[in-house]
Amino acid sequence: MKSYSLPLLFLPITRAVVQLEDPTMMGVLLRSIGWSIASFFALHVAIVAVIHRTIGQHGWLTWGADIVGSMAASLLTFWLFLPVAAAIGMLYADRIAAAVERKFYPGLPPPNGAHVAEQVWDGIVVAVKVLILNVLALMLAVLLPGLGIILAWMITAYAIGRGLFVAVAMRRMPRVVAESRYRSSRGVVLAQGGILALAAYIPVLNLIVPIIGVAAMVHVADMAVSKAPASGR
């Protein structure tokens, strides 16, 4: 694993934030918000429909169940937001990465990495892994107050960092090479993941986590390639 100076550790996330005003980034952000709202609205409607079908129309009982159902939907929305946002972000990963490369790395050749189907599948896997690890993180936070929150943050940082980096790197290299790049750049990857994991728990700010994450990992991948030995490039 290569070592990086402190400024280099924060360079990818800083560049990603600076580029948020890019029209492409803003377009992806608006689409992501739209998809997220639609997804969680559908979840809320589904939960209420299940409640009504289960208990029927019984006046105050139905009214109370609707309130409980709405609260449950809200909790599920908070819990599922990160994996859903990650999945939506991966839908637009290529668009985000292309915008970053146009601005910072215009000399790069067109991407020619893993097959598109493999990239799409990897994006789905990233979202599922984030979901599963989020469940584990939630359990730890409940069972081990204080320590559990720290462990939950570390788990989320790993899931976001590693998942987004490999997915982005696969645009330009086979998966096995992307995995190798991750191992050699684990420190800087997890540093970005840690920052993103913190942002993911802040309402409103969590909306930009997938976009910032993908953009930051494009920079990390470039740093990994530029530091790789000539025989590995």
- Higher-confidence residue of 42 and 90: namely 42
Give the pLDDT confidence score for residue 73 in this predicted structure. 67
Question: What residues make up the domain containing 137?
Answer: 6-232
* Sign of the torsion formed by the C-alpha atoms of 201, 204, 207 and 212: negative
Q: How many domains does the chain have?
A: 1
Residues 206/153/184/187 CA torsion (nearest 10 deg): 90
pLDDT digits 0-9 by tens, 47-97: 777 766 766 555 566 666 667 667 766 666 666 666 666 667 677 888 899
Neighbouring CB atoms inside 10 A of 149's CB total 15
Is 1 inside a domain boundary? no
The mean pLDDT value for 121-138 works out to 72
Mind listing the pLDDT tens digit for each residue in 146-177? 777 787 788 878 888 888 898 888 888 888 88
What is the pLDDT, as a whole number, of residue 231?
A: 36
Q: What is the pLDDT at residue 218?
A: 92
pLDDT of residue 104: 92
- Establish if 57 belongs to a structural domain: yes
Q: Is residue 202 part of a domain?
A: yes
Q: Which helix (H) or strand (E) holds 19?
A: none
22 lies in a domain?
yes
CA distance 144 to 153: 13
Mean pLDDT of 100-117: 81
Please write the tens of the pLDDT for every residue from 211-233.
898 999 999 988 766 554 433 33
